[in-house]
Amino acid sequence: MPQLPILTSFSPKPIAQGQVLTLLGNNFVAPMTVNINGVNITATVASLSQASIVIPNTFVGTTTVSITTPGGSATSSSSLTIIAPPTITVVSPASIFVPSQGVNTIIALSGTNLNAPSAVTVTQRGANGSVIGITSILGMITSSSATQIVVSLPSTMLSIVGQYTFTVTNLAGSASGVFNINLPPPTITDLQPRIFAVGQTVTITGTNFLGASVVTLGGVNLTNFTVVNANTITAIVSGAPSSGVVTVQTGSGIAQAEFNYSFIATPTLSVNPNRLAITPITTSRQPVVLTLTGNNLMLPSTTGALQVASLTLIRPNNGGSIGLNSLIVNPFNLTLSSRVI
């Protein structure tokens, strides 16, 4: 006649879903069933003192273990904890700017089966995706439950722009979630010079210019620009701006600032009269009045007043120099008096 079974122990504890649970005791005979949280599982009986089952995926948590054989039933005096693989569904915040030195960043990993992790790590990747390092942050956990792990990370760990992957591991498996460190958005503080023409180089000063992809001046896309460093961009003016608004776009945002400016357009010129009679050198000469007419003949000085940028009169055959006795100017006409010396 079969005897009453005795269940003395089982292992491993805790155990993951899908793993083999070994039971030790006495009077194990087939058919033998093991009850896990109300679910009966047929055991493989190896001997009178040992049997085993595979933990099903039907339960997660702590429960008692009962066995039944033709000789009767027995229940364990200790409990069994069953663990399922973790999942991470949300990392909050998902991204931040590079934190200030000495300031810790609080990050929450939300999901399922996050309690009792055997390891929590963060893998740091640079901007090009290469792995920089893997760090254990198990000791940086400030609170944890089955649905959330909260960690407090020092600024030294989050000082490099790039992607950070959090991985939570328990007996049943691992889960990962992604977090990003970004550069702060750019700012613009100055534009120099404030007087410029097409083809001239201007310098834009500000912060966080690294990775700039678009630079505009007054609505004109300045495609020929160079990011000198995080605080300086040089660009060649490629067209007439419609305003003094400067924009710089990076992966972190768009900066915009407006400045007072003066744009120097290409001049046009006609001379009246355009032909003069040569006066014999022995003849007393009178001043010759020339009127130069056109557009964009003047440019503003640093004081804001209009002035002639430059004016050159070339005499052929190197026969003498031409001096200016007087100059009357306005934005569209230059009237000058000259005398051959």
**Candidate CATH numbers 2.60.40.1220, 2.60.120.10, 2.60.40.10, 2.40.50.140; the one for domain 187-264:** 2.60.40.10
Domain 87-182 CATH assignment equals 2.60.40.10 = yes
CA distance 233 to 228: 6
Of 6-15, 97-106, 284-293, 326-335, the least confident: 326-335
Q: Is pLDDT at 243 greater than 50 in this prediction? A: yes
pLDDT attached to residue 313:
55
Q: Is pLDDT at 224 greater than 90 in this prediction? A: yes
CB 219 within 8 A of CB 243: yes
CA distance 36 to 113: 19
- Which residues lie across from 166 on neighbouring strands? 122, 177
| CATH number for the domain running over 6-83 | 2.60.40.10
6-83 against 187-264: fold identical: yes
AA identity, residue 147: T
Q: What is the tens place of the pLDDT at every residue in 253-288?
A: 999 999 998 888 777 767 666 665 555 554 555 555
Query: How confident is the model over 28-48, as a mean pLDDT?
Result: 95
Of 39-53, 74-88, 317-331, the least confident: 317-331
Query: How confident is the model over 97-103, as a mean pLDDT?
Result: 88
AA identity, residue 20: V
CA dist list (Å): 93 to 109, 139, 140? 9, 20, 17
State percent of the chain over pLDDT 70: 78
Give the domain ranges of the chain: 6-83, 87-182, 187-264, 268-340
| Strand 173-182 versus strand 162-170 pairing type | antiparallel
Residue carrying the six token digits 């050159």: 312
DSSP string over 262-303? EEEPPPEEEEESS--PPPPTTSPP-PEEEEEEEES-EEE-TT
pLDDT attached to residue 337:
45
Q: Is pLDDT at 196 greater than 70 in this prediction? A: yes
pLDDT attached to residue 98:
86
Q: What is the tens place of the pLDDT at every residue in 142-181?
A: 999 999 999 999 999 998 888 999 999 998 999 999 999 9
CA distance 260 to 247: 15
